Structure 1
Amino acid sequence: MASLPSPIAFLTARLPARHRAAGGEFLRFGLVGALGFCLDVAFVYALIPSLGLYGAGAVAYFIVASINWALNRLWTFSDRTHRAAHTQWLRFLAVNLLGFILNRGAYSLLLALFVLPRHYPILAVAAGAASGFLINFLLSRRLVFG
């Protein structure tokens, strides 16, 4: 009985051979990011009563960025973990600062300009996650796990 390919291998099979590894990393990074988005929303909503909208957004981002780093280290870029974990984690947080600025900039801008995201913070969290995703992937792939 032949085994089925992994979903990642199946989805990247049509890519040129030289792009399959990067395509797989992009898909895994996206799945980790999707889980991170769910956790981000959960933490924001859980922290709003004690920290307010902006404080909850900042603390949630730091927690979720740390979780995303760990999952990306263990799964997305598991063959690129030659640096010490603490060094790589600090590097991940540092190089993703641009992603943080885009992410929480969009989050804060939406909260400041529109009423709807203040009532439904998930909208601001989603916009922030989308705005920082590609830059976070590229920086992580090249500077953190490269």
Structure 2
Amino acid sequence: MRRLIAQLARFGIVGAVGFVVDLTVFNALRATVLSPEEVHSGPFWAKVCSTIVAIFVNWMGNRYWTFRHQRRSVAAKEGVEFVVVSLGGMAISLGCLGISHYALGFTSALADNISGNVIGLVLGTAFRFWLYKVWVYHPDRVAREGEATDGAVADTVDDRTVTR
């Protein structure tokens, strides 16, 4: 249980860094080149761009810190799965932003931030952590991949995969 709590804390710290990146890029784009006064769908595209940058930052943090003992030997495959899950989280944030901004008419910068970067973030974070834990970085997948690539026997010990 302590390991899960520690992993959740690391996930939260990585997520906080990603959140700052996402929030900064989103607001910089929304206030400049993708302002709703200039581009009608500007907030939507600002969120897409900011989330893509944050996905990369989060993958690096989660791969090399949060799930470092569970990362896979094939980074590209892991990266693709991480991006797929992250895009699901992005869809949740975009859905919240879209409903608030376009369906309900709450078009201020504050409303866009609350819907996309608070409500969407909370819902998307729960979705992402669960899928990272049970799919992307699942210890059994790491062990199977290790056996398939080098014929070694891999054991999962205290949330870490040890190859012998």
**Fold-level match, TM-score > 0.5?**
yes
Matches within 5 A, 1:1-146: 19-48=1-30, 49-51=32-34, 52-112=42-102, 113-115=104-106, 118-120=108-110, 121-124=112-115, 125-146=117-138
Shift >4 Å, 4+ stretches: none
Secondary structure, aligned partner of 2:72:
coil
Q: Is the 8 A contact 1:40 1:61 kept in 2?
A: yes
TM-score of the aligned structures, taking structure 1 as reference length: 0.79
Q: Is the 8 A contact 2:21 2:53 kept in 1?
A: no
Which 10-residue stretch deviates more, 30-39 or 119-128? 119-128
Consecutive unaligned residues of structure 1, counting only runs of 5 or more, are: 1-18
Code of the aligned partner of 1:30:
G
Instruction: Return the alpha-carbon distance in structure 2 between the equivalents of residues 55 and 96 of structure 1.
Output: 16
SS at match of 2:69: helix
Higher RCO structure, 1 or 2 (CA under 8 Å, sep 6+): 1
- Relative to structure 1, the CA distance from residue 100 to residue 119 in structure 2 (aligned partners, 3 Å threshold; closer, same or farther) is closer
Identical aligned residues as a percent: 27
CA offsets 1:111-138 (integer angstroms, 9 cap, x no match): 22242x5232322211211111111001
C-alpha distance in structure 2 between counterparts of 1:38 and 1:123, whole Å: 14
Answer whether contact 2:22 2:54 (CA < 8 A) is retained.
Answer: yes
Given that 2:7 and 2:66 are in contact with CA atoms closer than 8 Å, whether structure 1 keeps it comes out as yes
Higher helix share: 1
Task: Give the root-mean-square deviation of aligned CA atoms.
Answer: 1.6
Once residues 118 and 54 of structure 1 are traced to their aligned partners in structure 2, the CA distance between those partners, rounded to angstroms, is 13
Contact 1:44 1:60 in 2 (8 A): yes
Deviations, residues 78-98 of structure 1 (Å, cap 9, x unaligned): 111223222211110113333
